[in-house]
Structure formats: C-alpha cells, structure tokens
Structure 1
Amino acid sequence: MSKRVVTFGEIMLRLSPPGYLRFTQANSFDVVYGGGEANVAVSLANFGIDAAFITKLPKNPIGDAAINELRRYGVDTRYIARGGSRIGIYFMEKGASVRPSKVVYDRAHSAISEAKVGDIDWKAAFEGAEWFHFTGITPALGDNVAELVEEGCKVAKEMGLTISCDLNYRKKLWSTEKAGKVMGNLMQYVNIVIANEEDAEKVFGIKAPDSDVIAGELNLEGYKYVARELYNRFNLRMVAITLRESMSASDNNWSGMLYDGKEYYFSKKYKLHIVDRVGGGDSFGAGLIYSLITGKDPQYALEFAVAASALKHTIEGDANHVSVEEVETLMKGDASGRVQR
C-alpha cells in the first residue's frame, strides 16, 4: 500500500504575461493553477505517493478547472469543500537578470479565506494517512483559516500523523508580529519545520549571523544556529533550511541543510539558470517528505529534496513535474542536460 500524505491550503489561478514580458506590455496571460500545498501534493503524486489536497473552492467552472488540474496529476481531491464566490488570483511577472520577479495578489474574499471550522471532514481525509503538511501562507489568510489549520493539526495529532510546516512568510498577508503569534501557537503540533533564510527571522526573530540575503552571502555556522534555535524552541524532530544565493533573478546557487537534533547535514550546491523559480521551496518540501516517509536516511532526504527543487527551477509553472528517477539521476552527478534518447 502506498504512503498517504494530506496537504491543506489555497490553490490559486496564476496569470502570467508570456515569456518575460512586463505586465504593462502584456496583451494576454498564460494560465496556471498553483499554491504552496497544492504544489507539494502534485510533486508527491509524481513521485508515486498517494497525495491528497484539501482546500475550499467555489462551485463554478473555475473551481472545477482547478480541481481538474490537480486530478490530471493523480492528486486526491475528494475532500475539497465547495462554496464561496471566487478563487484567489495572483499575477506573476517573471524577472530576468537584474530585474526581479513581481507578484500582484487578487485573493481577498476567496473561498478558502472565508472557510471556517467544520468545513472539512478531517477524520475522513486523514484515514490511512501518515503525514499532514501545511504552510505559513494558509493561516495568514485570516483568523478563521488559522483556526481551521489548528483543527486539522489537532485531528492529525490525535490520529498519529507526522505534521510538517513550511514557514513561508508573506509580508503582503500579515505582519511579523501576527505571524509570530499565530505560527508560535501552531508549532505545538508540528514535528518538522521547513524554512528559508528570511522565514525564521521574520516569523520568530531568529536571524542567521553574518548572512546577507541581498548580497547572496551565506554563513553556514549562522544557519546551524537558526536550525538549533528552531529545534529547541519548538521541540521539533527536524529542521530543514533552503539556502539560496542570488546572483541575479536568472542565476542562483541552491543548496540546503537539515538538522535532526544530533547532526547537521549539508547538501551539494547547484548552480541554477532559472526558468521559473515559483514553487522552488514547495518542491524541496515535497522531496523531503517523499524521502522521509519512504524511510530514507537524513543525508539522502536532503540531497533528494535539493535536487528535486533544482529541477523545479527549470520547469514553467508552479508545480514540479519530475520523476524519482530524474531526481536520482541529478543526485548522482549528471547535470549535463544532454538529450535523453
């Protein structure tokens, strides 16, 4: 029987100008559906995991289209609640070279942002599941959604699931003070935290010494400190941190670290020329969950997560469309990009 993972959050309609056009130049938009936890579910389904995604979507053709997009990749959508008036939208302008990417949200009053405790049948959704995953984006949508996340965490804890959370701080959704308070409460249920260089600082005030995100400078000892602080403060099982060095919008170095309370694990580093970086963290999270739920050791889990995410940066759209075999090929050192015949 395959391993089952349940994720919960918002799936949005993404509208992007073709290629690298700016919003002001666009006469049309490319359509993609995506969102933090939905991206994780799609990745896991591609890895052969029984992945379910839970959200709330309007009962209209756009809601249907979002569900159909998930279904085409094998994601279980049976526990998605229907209701509300609209799906959230975000506009994404891809950056290049020295020009950063830009996101404009149009997500107020989306169906999920108006969801409330009682809308989701958590016990049915968690039947046979081993893992529950959410991100810090979801409780940021409103106090009612934060309560719904906590309801899910309580049921997951009672049913013995491992719970993971990607902190994913979004300054356009809430303040650092509010994030710290709400996420601090939810951490009592969480076993594994995924973060990047900014999340730990913005949400919990834990800063990596001698690191400059904008200058692209990483101090590995500083990240050990961040991981240790998170681990000890919230009595966690593991902390994973993605390490991004940004030379430009087009070229990044990408690696990661994992801390299990005893050892610090560091991955190999990939030099990336980016096609689409949205969902990079989600693909890392999915790779980590896949590895740990299938019994892999911490070093393998980290290497798999980083390699999976490195591949995501080469793929258009929000979700990662790669197989376990493709990830393992990159892990083994084949980054040539030669045609596979």
Structure 2
Amino acid sequence: MSKKVVTFGELMIRLQPYNYERFVQADHLEFTFGGGEANVAVSLANYGIDVSYVTKLPAHAIGQAAVNSLRRYGVDTSKITRGGNRVGIYFNEKGASQRGSVCIYDRAHSAIQEATTADFDWDAIFEGVDWFHFTGITPALGPNVVEICREACKAAKAHGVKISCDLNYRGKLWTREEARAAMTDLCQYVDVCISNEEDAKDVFGIEAEATDIYAGTLNHEGYKSVAKQLADKFNFEMVAITLRESHSAFDNGWSAMLYNVAKDEYCFSKKYDLHIIDRVGGGDSFGGGLIYSLLNGKDTQAAVEFAVAASALKHSIEGDYNMVTVSEVEKLAGGDGSGRIQR
C-alpha cells in the first residue's frame, strides 16, 4: 500500500528579477510560486509518493494559479481551504559571487496568516495518512497559526502519524523569544527534526562548539553534540543537520548528518561542492529526500545520502520546486556526479 504524506504551510508568489539583476534595476519580474512545505510536497510527488498539501488560499484567480502550480506535479490539493483575500508574496534577489541573495517578504494579511482553527478538519485530513511535515516558518505567521499547527500535531499524533519539522528560523518573521516559546511547545510532538547550525542556535540556544559558520569550517563532533542535545530535549527519534559551507553566493560545500537515536548512529553524508543556480528550497529538497528515504525503509546512512544528493541537485534548478526523479537522485548518491550529458 502506498504511503501517504500531508504537508502544511503557506504557498507564496515568488517575484524575482531576471538573471542576477538587483531589485533597484529590474523593470520586470519572474512570477512563480513556492513555500517550504509546498516545496517538500512537490519533491515527494516527483518521487511517486501520495502527498497532500494543506493551506488556505483565496478563491480568486491568483489563488487558483497557486493551486495549479502544485497540481501540475501531482500534489493532491483537495484539502486546501479556499477563502481570504491575499496570496503572500516574497521578492527574491539572486546573489552572485560575493553578493548574497536578498529575500523581502510581503505576506501580512495573507489568507493563511488570517486563518483560524475552524478552517481545517485535521481528523479528516489525517485519515489513512502516514507522515505529516511542517516547518518553523508556518507558526511564525502568528499566534493563530501556532494554534493551528498545535491542533494539527495533536490530531496527527492521535492518528499515529509520524511528524517531521524543519526548524527553519526566519528572523524577519518573529523574534528568537517568540520562536523558542512556540517551537518548544510544538517540538514535543515531533519525531524527526531537521535543522542547521544556525536554527538550533537561534531557536533553542543549542550550538556546536568550535564551528564558525561564516568561516566555512565544520566540526563533526560539534554537530553530534547539537543533534544529541536536540534529541535529549525533545525525545526526537531522529535529528538531521544540514551543513552548508558558504564560500560565495555561487560556491558552497553541502553535506549533512543524520542522528538515529535508537541505534545511536551518527551518519555523515559525502560532501558536494555546489556551483549554485538557485539555492532557495535547498533545505526543503533535503527534507523531501529524507521523508522519502525514511518512508521507504532506507538505513540511516542511505537516508542521509539520498537526502543530500536530492538537495545537491535542487541547487541546479531554477525556482522553489525540485524537479528531479528518484533515479536521478540515486545515480548521484551512488557516485555519478560528473554532470556529463546523457544520450
């Protein structure tokens, strides 16, 4: 029987200058859609997983365009609530070389930000579902959305659904204190936590020793300690930590660690040297790869290798959504990263 996944969050319009233009010089913008949990849903649909995405979107044509952006990749949109007036927007300016990317949010009063717990029937949504995924971006939209996330987590637990959460701290949306209060509450329901070195520090004050994220140096023992501290605090079954070494906007080292608590295993993936086309959604593509791997019973090492390979490929693809197949990911995870033409 095929596994069923539900993801929940905000789907936004992404407006971006063409090529590498700055906002102040652009006179036309590229129009696409994206959002953390929607990106995960598209990844899973591309891997053949039965996945539903839950959000609230206006009933007007722009809301429908957002829904259609998911439907074209096979994501089930039947559980999306329609209503409200706005689709949130984010403006993305792609960085190049030593100039970092810039993201500006325009998402106040979006349909999901103004949603209430009455908008979602979680018991119906989780009927026959195996896995639920959300991120720390969604509760950051407001206390009402924290409450919706809490109800979702409680219902998921009541239905025996595994829960994964990507901490994804966004300093432009809420303070560290607000994030810590909300995520400390929500993480008690979570089985699989996805984080990076910055998120663990910003949200919970947990940090790796002897690691300077800005200098691009990594300390494996430090990350083991972060994963163990997170797992001990919340009784997680697994903790994944993505490790990004940022040399420039174009060139990053990319790897990850997966801590399997029951087996007391700390598995580090191979490292990829990325030359980046688009890094937005990189973490979400890791999450999608990890969920796929764990649902399919891959062992700890194989799961982290698949997730990192999926994410490495995403960095080569324009837009939020990761457009890759299982066979492409497994080919890269298996060692073929030459980028040679296939014919």
TM superposition score normalised by structure 2: 0.99
How much has 1:242 moved relative to structure 2?
Answer: 0.2
The residue aligned with 1:224 is 224
Deviations 1:28-51 (A, max 9, x none): 111110000000000000000001
The residue aligned with 2:50 is 50
The residue aligned with 1:320 is 322
The residue aligned with 1:239 is 239
Q: 2: distance between equivalents of 1:128 and 1:47?
A: 19
**For this pair of structures, how many residues does the alignment match?**
341
Q: 1:330 aligns with which of 311, 329, 332?
A: 332
List aligned pairs for 1:1-341, cutoff 5 A.
1-261=1-261, 262-341=264-343
1:277–1:313 contact (8 Å) kept in structure 2: yes
Q: 2: distance between equivalents of 1:300 and 1:82?
A: 39
How much has 1:215 moved relative to structure 2?
Answer: 1.1
Identity of aligned residues (%): 66
2:130–2:161 contact (8 Å) kept in structure 1: yes
Structure 2 unaligned spans of 5+: none
Q: 1: distance between equivalents of 2:170 and 2:34?
A: 16
How much has 1:183 moved relative to structure 2?
Answer: 0.3
Deviations 1:145-181 (A, max 9, x none): 0000000000000000000000000000001011001
2:54–2:79 contact (8 Å) kept in structure 1: yes
Report the AA paired with residue 338 of structure 2. Answer: S
Q: 1: distance between equivalents of 2:127 and 2:73?
A: 21
1:79–1:121 contact (8 Å) kept in structure 2: no
How much has 1:313 moved relative to structure 2?
Answer: 0.2
Q: 2: distance between equivalents of 1:323 and 1:123?
A: 32
Report the AA paired with residue 85 of structure 1. Answer: N
Moved runs in structure 1, 4+ residues, more than 3 A? none
2:240–2:257 contact (8 Å) kept in structure 1: yes
How much has 1:301 moved relative to structure 2?
Answer: 0.5
Deviations 1:13-39 (A, max 9, x none): 000000101111111111110000000
1:288–1:302 contact (8 Å) kept in structure 2: yes
Q: 2: distance between equivalents of 1:213 and 1:146?
A: 29
Structure 1 unaligned spans of 5+: none
Report the AA paired with residue 294 of structure 2. Answer: L
How much has 1:99 moved relative to structure 2?
Answer: 0.3
Report the AA paired with residue 138 of structure 1. Answer: T
Q: Find the residue that maps to 2:119 and give its secondary structure.
A: coil
Q: 2: distance between equivalents of 1:224 and 1:294?
A: 25
TM superposition score normalised by structure 1: 0.99
RMSD between aligned residues: 0.6
Q: 2: distance between equivalents of 1:26 and 1:250?
A: 21
Q: Find the residue that maps to 2:73 and give its secondary structure.
A: coil
